[in-house]
Amino acid sequence: MNTKSEPTGTWRGFSAPLAVGGRFSLYGPPPWHFEGYSASVSLRVSADAVRGLVPPQLTVSDDPVVRLSVFDFVCDCGHGEGFVQKHPDLAQQSEAVVGITVTHDGQPAYWPALLWCSSDAEIAVGREMYGWAQRLGSVALTRMPRRGWRDGDVVTALVRRGHRSVFTFSIALAGELEAPPPVANSATMASHLGRLPIYTQTAIADPMRPGVVERRLVATDIEDVKTGPVWHGPAQLDVVAQELAFLNDAEVIEGRWHRASWTKPYASRVVSSNEGPA
């Protein structure tokens, strides 16, 4: 029997569930710290194929690139370094992102149109605070062997939602890359997505006004991005999910794998905020 008395103090918390002392919050405040591994496949698509997935405040270029990225990482969920050490079951996470190269006011940017994630905290903070379009999913990614990578090694990514496949890809590693090229077009922009402003949009329904949704487009500048080593090679992609049908005619550019760490702060700015019908 638990005979401990309830603590006294202020009813609070950064996120639900609230409690006295705020000790049960699902996630804490930014900054959130991440580190782990990523594999991605860059695809060339037509502008018409992705225009319906991008909000009107952002501009799709004439030669957009879509990057399918899979992450295997640890995250402190805003609770600090001790959380990672004491709660490996909650801190070790995986995620898949379908991102599109865009511009805003003529500047390169990144729009993550679709996401699947293994963590309830990641899903909650993404949808509630920033507007990342995260949904529950399972993600598996080949891990680097102790000996390190060698030419010809294969990296495989598997993404599922429920019992259904979303997409899979494999990369035949062909060598290690030096620093990515400067941003000159959509293809090279895809090499810098972690260093570009990320635009996301919340969609929060009003509980008192049927059919009314508040939409807030925000920009976030990811901080302390560190990558390396970076490996690349030819890639093969199999798209299954209906929402990714726009990729059926995409041209595969290449695949990449890298180790990475980064920090997600509070959003940098609110681009627009409005209410409208669902």
Q: What is the pLDDT of residues 118-135, one digit of tens each?
A: 999 999 999 999 999 999
Query: Structurally, how many domains does the chain consist of?
Result: 1
Q: Which tokens go with 102?
A: 């865009």
Residue 169 domain-assigned?
Answer: yes
Predicted pLDDT at 186: 44
- The per-residue pLDDT for range 62-94, each reduced to its tens digit, is 899 999 999 999 999 999 999 999 999 999 999
The domain containing residue 153 runs over which residues?
27-277
Q: Is residue 17 part of a domain?
A: no
- Pairing relation of β-strands 154-161 and 164-172? antiparallel
pLDDT of res. 201 = 97
For residue 152, give the amino acid letter. Answer: G
In a domain, 148, yes or no: yes
In a domain, 21, yes or no: no
Which residue bears the tokens 């202020």?
Answer: 10
Indicate whether 211 belongs to any domain. yes
| pLDDT tens digits for range 140-191 | 999 999 999 999 999 999 999 999 999 999 999 999 998 665 544 444 444 4
Torsion angle, CA of 245/249/254/259, rounded to 10 degrees? -10
Do the domain assignments include residue 108? yes
The whole-number average pLDDT for the span 214-231 is 95
How large is the average pLDDT for residues 251-270? Answer: 96
Domain CATH number, residue 216: 2.40.400.10
- Asked if the structure places residue 18 within a domain, the reply is no
Residue 3 has pLDDT above 50, yes or no: no
Predicted local confidence at residue 21, as pLDDT: 73
In a domain, 8, yes or no: no
